[in-house]
Structure 1
Amino acid sequence: MTTTPLSGDPASTEYVDTVVIGAGQAGLSAGYHLARNGRDFVLLDANRRIGDNWRCHWDSLRLYSPARYDGLPGMAFPAPEYSFPGKDDVADYLEDYAARFALPVRGSTHVRQLSKDNDHYVIECSGEDGTSTRLVAHNVVVATGTFGRTPAVPEFACELDPAIRQLHSSGYRNPVQLRDGPVLVVGASHSGGDIALEVGGTHPTILCGRDTGQIPMRLESRRMRLLLPVLWFAAGHIMSLRTPIGRKLREEERNHGAPFLRVTRQDLAALGVERVTDRMTGVDGGLPVLGDGRVVDVTNVLWCTGFRQSYNWIDLPVIGADGWPLEERGAVPSMPGLYFTGLAFQSSFRSMLVGGAGADARTVVEHLVAHRRPERVDAIARPST
C-alpha cells in the first residue's frame, strides 16, 4: 500500500486510493479482491484484534452453515467440511486469513465521520490513545456489518425494576451472568431460540415473540447433509434479487427475525421453556408486560431483539428512510466511488452467511475497478478549506 502523509495538512492526513471500513469477513474479502487487482488500499477496524467482532458473542455460538461453505476467497475454512465452527474458530480464521494475504488492517481505529470533498472522500478517525487521523480517498467501501452493532432495545426497558438483570444478546456470554430466578427472553428468532434453550437448562425460562418458523430438519442430520448443495444453490440463485421470491424475501429478512435454525419448538418444550407468541409490550410496576396483558415476575430479561443500523457517522445523503443504504449491488449510484458490502441480503440469502461475503465483495470490487481508475496519491487533490 502507498500512502503519503502531507506536511501542513490537518493532523496526520493521508492520501490513499481506497479505504475499506471494517475488517470482518466482508471487509477482508474486499481487501482480498482489491489486492488481486493491484489497488492501493487500507482496512480500518475499531477492534484491537482481527476477529474480535466474533469473539464478543456468547460462548456457545456456532455457525448455522457447515465449514464447507464458510471459507472466504482463496482460503477454505480449516475444519471438517460438515462441522459447524464456533465463534472463536471464525475469529481465528479471519485473523489467519488477513495474515496469509498480508492485508493492511489498522486496528483500534474508530471512524468518526465519512464525508466528501469535491471528488474525494474524507474519513476522520481516532485511535485508542486519542490521536486523530484524516484519510482522503478516491474510493470507500463500507463493510461494517450485516445489521449494525447498535442494540435494538425498546424505550420502556429503562422502566424495568433495577433489580432485574437486563442483557442484550450482544452482552450475553453464558448463564453464569444471570441472577437466580426466572428469565424472560424477548425475541424469538434463531438467536433467541438458541439462548432460551441454553438458559432454560439452569433457569425457569419464558421465550416471547412472534413465531418466525423453523427449518424442517436438523442442521446436523444426514438428510440435511444431502440437501445442503441444493440449499446452497437455492440461497444464491433462487433466493436472490434476480427473482420475485428473492426480492420479497429480502424485505422479510431485513425487517423480521429469521426462523429457528438449530433449536426446534420441541427442544424448548422438552426443556420446559414456556413459549409465548405475544410480544413484550410494556412495563407495569417494574415488571414486563406481554401482549395479552400478562405481567411476568422475572429476575432477568435477555433482549434478543437484534440491532439497529447506525450510519450517523456517514455525513452523506446515502441512507434511505428505512435506515438501509441506497445501493445497487453494493454501489451507490449517487456517489461514485462509495460502496457497501456485507449487508443483509445484498444480493441473495447467502449475503448473510460468512461464505457469502466473498461473492458480494467481488461484485463491489469489480465495479470499483471498472468505473474508478486508480490514482497516484500525489495526484489526489487536497481537501478544500
Structure 2
Amino acid sequence: MHTVVIGGSQAGLATGYHLKRLGVDHVILDENDEVGASWRNRWESLHLFTPARYSCLPGMPSPLPPRSRPGKDDIADYLRTYSEELDLPVRTAVRVERVAAEGDGYVVEATDGDIRAHNVVIATGAFHNPRIPEFAETLHLDMIQMHSSEYRSPAQAQEGGVLVVGAGQSGAEIALDLVHNHQVWLSGNDNGEEPTTPDTFADRLLMPLMWFVVSRVVNVANPIGRKARDHFLYPPRGIPRAGGTKKKLLEAGVEWVPRTTGSSDGHPVLEDGRVLDVANVVWCTGFVTDYSWVDLPVFDDFGYPTHDRGVVESQPGLYFMGLPFQSTLSSALVGGMGRDAEYIAEHLSRRRSPAGSVAFATDQESRSAPGSGAVR
C-alpha cells in the first residue's frame, strides 16, 4: 500500500480527494461504523457558526443554502455523501492501535490486520480525550456530571440548577440549550467574540473578508499567523465565540460567573469564593491530545506533532491533517482543510516508493483472493 490515511472524517476525506485526484494508491481507515458518525454523535442543537458556503470540502459544494448554518446532522450527511459520490476508499469499523516505523516505511497495526505502507497520514485531528479537572471527583456523587462530548440534550440533566464550565462556543451553546428548563450558570473567562452576529446584514457583508483573514492572512508563514498560533496553542486556550452569543446568553437568563476552581463539601467553588448549589455540571473544558498509539518521537511538550504544514520532516513519509493552525487559523475548520490536504497530497505523491514495494501490502492481502478487502 502506498499511503494509509487514518481518520475518515473531514480531514481524512479531503486528503483522500486529493490523493485520488493525483492517482495515489491509498486507503482511509475510520473507527466508526459509518462516515460522519463523529458529527452525528454530538448534541442535538449543534449548528456551525460558519455558513454552509464555507463549510464544505474540495470537489463538492454544500447542498444547503450558502448563508445557512449547517447542523451536526447536515455535516454528517454531507460527509457520507461526499465519500460515496467521490468513491473514496474508506474502510469503516477499523481501529488503528499502533503506528511504527518499519524499514523504509511504516506498519499500521489495526483491528483487522497490519498494513505496511510507504506513507501514513494521521487525520484524527488534535481533540481526542475529554479534559476534566481532578476536583470533579470530589463533587457530590448524586450530582450528574458529563463532558460536552457526552452531552446530547437537556433530557440528560436532572431537576435542579446546571453549571456549565467553560465559556467557549460549546459551553455557550449548551448553556443556551439548557436554560429553557433549568437555572444555568456559565463559568469561565470571556475569550471574546467575532465582530458580527450571524445572519445580520453586517455579517453577510463582512463574512467574505473575515474568511479571507482566517484562511489566508492568519498564516503561520508570516509573523501574524505564528503569533496567533502560539497564543492559542501554547498553552491551549479557547478561540472567540460567534458574534452576539454573549447578548443571547444574558437575554436568555444565563448567569455568567467566574472560573470554577475547586469544590467545598461536594459543591463547585468559583474563583471569587462563591459556592454553587447545583444538581448538574457540564464540563465544556476542551480536550487533550492523545497520540500514544503513534510509536514515533515526533511530539512536543504539549503533545502536538512537530511539523511544517503537516509534514513531519524528521520522519519522512509521516503526515498530519486537521491540526489547529496547521497552516492557517481555518485549518481545523471543515472549509479550511482543502488547501492543507492538497499540500500534503502533492508532497507525498512526489516521494518515490521503495524498491520492491509489493512488500508494502496488508498482511491479510497476501492470504486473500485478488480484489478482496483486507480491512473491513
Query: Which of the residues 289, 294, 301 maps onto 2:269?
Result: 289
Report the equivalent of 2:255: 274
2:134 matched to 1:113?
Answer: no
Report the equivalent of 1:73: 58
Residue pairs, 1:1-385, within 5 angstroms: 16-126=1-111, 132-145=112-125, 147-254=126-233, 255-261=236-242, 263-276=244-257, 278-373=258-353, 377-380=357-360
Q: Deviations over 1:140-182 (max 9, x none)?
A: 000002x322111111111111111001110101111101110
- Secondary structure in 2 aligned to 1:30? helix
Q: Deviations over 1:45-95 (max 9, x none)?
A: 010000001001110111121111112111001110111110001001100
Report the equivalent of 2:370: none
In the alignment, the residues of structure 2 paired with residue 200 and residue 375 of structure 1 have an alpha-carbon distance, to the nearest angstrom, of: 63
In the alignment, the residues of structure 2 paired with residue 323 and residue 376 of structure 1 have an alpha-carbon distance, to the nearest angstrom, of: 35
After superposing the two structures, state which structure 1 stretch, 76-85 or 247-256, moved more: 247-256
* TM-score, length basis structure 2: 0.93
Query: Which runs of 5 or more residues in structure 1 are unaligned?
Result: 1-15, 127-131
Specify whether residues 209 and 38 from structure 1 end up closer, same or farther in structure 2 by C-alpha distance, changes over 3 A only.
Answer: same
In the alignment, the residues of structure 2 paired with residue 198 and residue 300 of structure 1 have an alpha-carbon distance, to the nearest angstrom, of: 14
In the alignment, the residues of structure 2 paired with residue 73 and residue 137 of structure 1 have an alpha-carbon distance, to the nearest angstrom, of: 25
Identity among equivalent pairs (%) = 48
In the alignment, the residues of structure 1 paired with residue 247 and residue 330 of structure 2 have an alpha-carbon distance, to the nearest angstrom, of: 27
- Secondary structure in 1 aligned to 2:32? coil
In the alignment, the residues of structure 1 paired with residue 99 and residue 80 of structure 2 have an alpha-carbon distance, to the nearest angstrom, of: 26
Specify whether residues 93 and 246 from structure 1 end up closer, same or farther in structure 2 by C-alpha distance, changes over 3 A only.
Answer: same
Report the equivalent of 2:366: none
- Secondary structure in 2 aligned to 1:351? coil
In the alignment, the residues of structure 1 paired with residue 352 and residue 331 of structure 2 have an alpha-carbon distance, to the nearest angstrom, of: 24
Report the equivalent of 2:367: none
Specify whether residues 42 and 287 from structure 1 end up closer, same or farther in structure 2 by C-alpha distance, changes over 3 A only.
Answer: same
Query: Which runs of 5 or more residues in structure 2 are unaligned?
Result: 364-376
Q: Deviations over 1:17-58 (max 9, x none)?
A: 100000011100110111111111100001000000100111
Q: CA deviation at 1:370?
A: 2.1
Say how many residue pairs are matched: 361
Check the 8 A contact 2:164/2:282 in 1, yes or no.
yes
Q: CA deviation at 1:372?
A: 3.8
